[in-house]
Chains A and B, each alone.
Chain A
Amino acid sequence: MATESAAMFDTDELVLNMGPQHPSTHGVLRLVLRLDGERVKDVDVVMGYVHRGIEKLCENRDWTQIILLTDRMDYVAAATNNLGYCETVEKLMEVEVPRRARYIRTILAELQRIASHCLWLGTHAMDIGAMTVFLYAFRERELILDLFEEYCGARLTYNAMRIGGLPLDIPSGWDDKARAFCDIMDSKVLEYEELLTNNRIWLERTRGIGVISGADAISLGLCGPPLRGSAVNRDVRKDEPYAAYDEFDFDIPIGTRGDTYDRYLIRLEEFRQSIRIIRQALDGLPEGPVMGKVPRLLKPKAGETYHAIESPKGELGYFIVSDGRATNPYRFRVRPPSFCNLQGLRPLVIGHLVADVVALIGTIDVVLGEVDR
């Protein structure tokens, strides 16, 4: 009798293809969901739709041309990509970067972090249905893009750094504009908080959703806010300072529960910490050149090096091998934070509902250009 009724109410799992064309997969991510009702039983994460072979391309370009290609990986945070690459080559070549250049690089990287987080906040909130936050966040991102445009002429792919320093000094008056932006951003973060932080629906949609323990996060290789959300104190800016981060005072926000809400709070706090760093860097901006002594023809001696920075999305590392003879790298490999964080999507999503899937894609903050490269 029991088997008979089981056969009568035969249940079947529904295979739902989400993406690559889907409004909430933040690019061309494809998820093959196996659903029981609306509950996710399993998910296959399929990627590679924007694979452009950037690593291979880089192996066939000379050292300066590569900077331009790194822009195209995490295209919403091009400046940090530039920074990571330039610092790696500088490490390989043992080039000294002038202090002023290091300061300006820090300012650019932190502005970039705010811009990237603005994009994250807007899309994440939009995925959960709060559409006004999206436009508010983009309004502020626009101000940062204006600052970048004034600095280097580009708004998205900046190509803003060079091996050994910076191509340009900041234009006169730029630092005042950056300060003014910091003041605006301070109040705008409060505005976002007002709309979301204590909003009952927001809490219900994010609290306890996508919980991951610190140990799991480490073993999955998560980095950036998803790792810190699980109470793991790891930030390359503090642990292995680069650029001028060792000269500034700032805190690394750490979560406690490892859920979507914690990751949201961490990124909001990072807005404030970034503003704090930018203010300190602008106040203490040293005089001097912005370009170090670098040979005309870059030809690092044979060797290999790995260097990581904290991009807005997590630990962005470059592994570069030079054979010492050619004017291009022998091997070029990127450790992209989005790719590593995407590993965490499957364990996060299983057991949740379809509505949570889009919230979880948002919370790990992936950029598919960087995942696929």
Chain B
Amino acid sequence: MLDTVFWPLVKIVVLLNAVMVSVTFMTLLERKVIAWAQSRLGPMRVGPYGVLQAFADPLKLMTKEDITPANADKVMFTLAPILSLVPAFVVFAVIPFGGDPLYYVADINVGLLFIISVTSIGVYGIILAGWASNSKYPLLAGLRASAQLISYEIAVTMTLVSVILTAGTLSMVEIVEAQQEAGIWFGFIQPVAFVLVLIGGLAETNRAPFDMPEAEQELTGGFHTEYSGMRFGLFFLAEYANMIVIAAVVVVLFWGGWLRPFPSVGALALLDYIPSWIWLFSKMFLVLYLFIWIRATLPRYRYDQLMRIGWKVLIPIAIANVVVTAVVKVLL
């Protein structure tokens, strides 16, 4: 009872709060990093160097009026932000923050498949939000989101197959352990797959340069045009939580998860004294920083161009990568 119900619940509560807090600080980090890229200071007024801005933003959203448009489908309109938020949080259940069972909520044997399926549900939130708002700009955004979904999802899933082939398992914990046994992070064995997953991850989280569903310059905010207050905030919570998920998945699959650098070099065993979660978090931070950096630098693709990249470039490369991986695996 204690092991099957109580401790998992405690872990879930801790994890949920940790995710919430990291999301708020993620928004601050994004504002700060983009500000530095643009030779500005970013938020400076709330607390020292603006660090309390992370709490001021959600507080503001919570106190704002929550408007439901008169002609919106009220049930779906309410459901949509929840539907995009919940999957983003659920995925954290299978992210291992360390090798010890203490550091993960669940290690299910199809962990990676679980992640792929659950994160895909999140897009329905966006599509439903666009549809339920009964407004033209969100509708276009919803269409874009669905077009985007089918363009990158296949490529990403195909790519993950090659990682599964390399690791020989679907469990997130075992994938990291496989990297420890191999003595090399899969990012070096599967660099193509890493790049594909990163691109797919940008599309998955609606990040620049693939942020067409919420392109504020074209669709005035896209799917969340009609949302206000904390319901709008939920979409943002979901977006940033998704970013953290993608960063975690990328790190676990390709950069050794909680492992220290050079896991097979005994001379560096001293590094093992640094807790496993610190390794994971610092690697995730680098991936997240890369996401923000990309957003500050690149213009936005058009959604037909994303579909073209998805179908004509990413999917063929992903399939070729799977074939090559399979052949090499058989030959070795």
A contact residues around B215 at 8 Å (CB): 129, 355
Q: Are A132 and B297 in contact (CB under 8 A)?
A: yes
Known A14-B136, A22-B220, A38-B140; judge A355-B297 contact (CB<8 A): no
B contact residues around A132 at 8 Å (CB): 34, 37-38, 296-297
Q: Are A358 and B302 in contact (CB under 8 A)?
A: no
Q: Are B218 and A355 in contact (CB under 8 A)?
A: yes
A contact residues around B218 at 8 Å (CB): 24, 127, 354-355, 357-358
CB distance from B293 to the nearest CB of A (A): 10
Q: Are B39 and A136 in contact (CB under 8 A)?
A: yes
A contact residues around B34 at 8 Å (CB): 131-132
Binds B, one of A61-69, A201-209, A219-227: A201-209
Q: How many residues of A contact B (CB 8 A)?
A: 32
Q: Are B303 and A201 in contact (CB under 8 A)?
A: no
A95 on the interface (CB 8 Å rule)?
Answer: no
CB distance from B106 to the nearest CB of A (A): 38
Interchain CB contact (< 8 A) of B38 among A136, A199, A204, A356: A136
In whole angstroms, how far apart are the Cα atoms of A205 and B212 in the complex?
A: 13
In whole angstroms, how far apart are the Cα atoms of A17 and B215 in the complex?
A: 16
Known A129-B208, A135-B38; judge A201-B301 contact (CB<8 A): yes
Q: Are A131 and B296 in contact (CB under 8 A)?
A: yes
Q: Are A355 and B38 in contact (CB under 8 A)?
A: no
A contact residues around B305 at 8 Å (CB): 204-205
CB distance from B195 to the nearest CB of A (A): 15
Q: Smallest CB-CB separation from B137: which chain A residue?
A: A16
Q: Are B39 and A139 in contact (CB under 8 A)?
A: yes
Q: Are B299 and A358 in contact (CB under 8 A)?
A: no
Interchain CB contact (< 8 A) of A129 among B39, B140, B144, B298: B298
Which of A195, A201, A355 neighbours the largest number of chain B CB atoms within 10 Å of its CB?
Answer: A355
Known A38-B140, A195-B297; judge A355-B40 contact (CB<8 A): no
Q: Are B217 and A130 in contact (CB under 8 A)?
A: no
Q: Are B211 and A129 in contact (CB under 8 A)?
A: yes
In whole angstroms, how far apart are the Cα atoms of A136 and B40 in the complex?
A: 10
In whole angstroms, how far apart are the Cα atoms of A125 and B38 in the complex?
A: 14
B98 on the interface (CB 8 Å rule)?
Answer: no
Q: Which 6 residue pairs are nearest across A and B when measured between Cβ atoms?
A: A129-B300, A130-B299, A135-B38, A129-B299, A128-B299, A24-B217
A350 on the interface (CB 8 Å rule)?
Answer: no
Known A22-B220, A355-B212; judge A128-B140 contact (CB<8 A): no
Which of A17, A195, A201 neighbours the largest number of chain B CB atoms within 10 Å of its CB?
Answer: A201
Q: Are B140 and A358 in contact (CB under 8 A)?
A: no
Write out, one digit per residue, whether chain B residues 303-321 have a CB within 8 A of any chain A CB (1) or not (0): 1110000000000000000
Known A22-B220, A201-B209; judge A38-B299 contact (CB<8 A): no
A contact residues around B297 at 8 Å (CB): 130, 132, 195
A353 on the interface (CB 8 Å rule)?
Answer: yes
In whole angstroms, how far apart are the Cα atoms of A136 and B144 in the complex?
A: 30
CB distance from A201 to the nearest CB of B (A): 5
In whole angstroms, how far apart are the Cα atoms of A158 and B265 in the complex?
A: 69
- CB under 8 Å from chain B, chain A span 329-360: 353-358
Q: Are B299 and A201 in contact (CB under 8 A)?
A: yes
**Chain B interface residue bracket vs A:** 20 to 34
A-B pairs with beta carbons under 8 Å apart, 21 shown: A16-B136, A22-B220, A23-B220, A38-B140, A38-B143, A38-B303, A127-B218, A129-B208, A129-B215, A129-B217, A130-B298, A131-B296, A132-B34, A132-B37, A132-B297, A135-B38, A135-B39, A136-B38, A205-B300, A354-B219, A355-B303
Which of B212, B298, B305 neighbours the largest number of chain A CB atoms within 10 Å of its CB?
Answer: B298
Write out, one digit per residue, whether chain B residues 265-290 have a CB within 8 A of any chain A CB (1) or not (0): 00000000000000000000000000
In whole angstroms, how far apart are the Cα atoms of A356 and B39 in the complex?
A: 29
Q: Smallest CB-CB separation from B308: which chain A residue?
A: A204
A294 on the interface (CB 8 Å rule)?
Answer: no
Q: Are A201 and B300 in contact (CB under 8 A)?
A: yes
B-binding residues in A (CB < 8 A)? 14, 16-17, 22-24, 37-38, 125-132, 135-136, 139, 195-196, 199, 201-202, 204-205, 353-358
A contact residues around B140 at 8 Å (CB): 16, 38, 354
B216 on the interface (CB 8 Å rule)?
Answer: yes
Interchain CB contact (< 8 A) of B209 among A17, A24, A129, A353: A129
Which of B212, B297, B298, B302 neighbours the largest number of chain A CB atoms within 10 Å of its CB?
Answer: B302
Q: Are B298 and A358 in contact (CB under 8 A)?
A: no
Q: Smallest CB-CB separation from A203: which chain B residue?
A: B299
Q: Smallest CB-CB separation from A134: which chain B residue?
A: B38
A contact residues around B40 at 8 Å (CB): 135
B contact residues around A14 at 8 Å (CB): 136
Q: Smallest CB-CB separation from A135: which chain B residue?
A: B38
A contact residues around B303 at 8 Å (CB): 38, 353, 355
In whole angstroms, how far apart are the Cα atoms of A205 and B144 in the complex?
A: 17
Q: Are A202 and B299 in contact (CB under 8 A)?
A: yes
In whole angstroms, how far apart are the Cα atoms of A199 and B305 in the complex?
A: 15
CB distance from B250 to the nearest CB of A (A): 22
A contact residues around B209 at 8 Å (CB): 129, 201
Q: Smallest CB-CB separation from A129: which chain B residue?
A: B300
CB distance from B184 to the nearest CB of A (A): 31
B contact residues around A125 at 8 Å (CB): 299
Q: Are A23 and B302 in contact (CB under 8 A)?
A: no
A contact residues around B136 at 8 Å (CB): 14, 16-17
CB distance from A24 to the nearest CB of B (A): 4
11 A-B pairs besides A38-B304, A201-B298 with CB distance below 8 A are A37-B143, A38-B144, A127-B217, A128-B299, A130-B298, A135-B39, A201-B209, A201-B300, A205-B299, A355-B215, A355-B303
Interchain CB contact (< 8 A) of A199 among B212, B296, B298, B302: B298
A contact residues around B219 at 8 Å (CB): 354
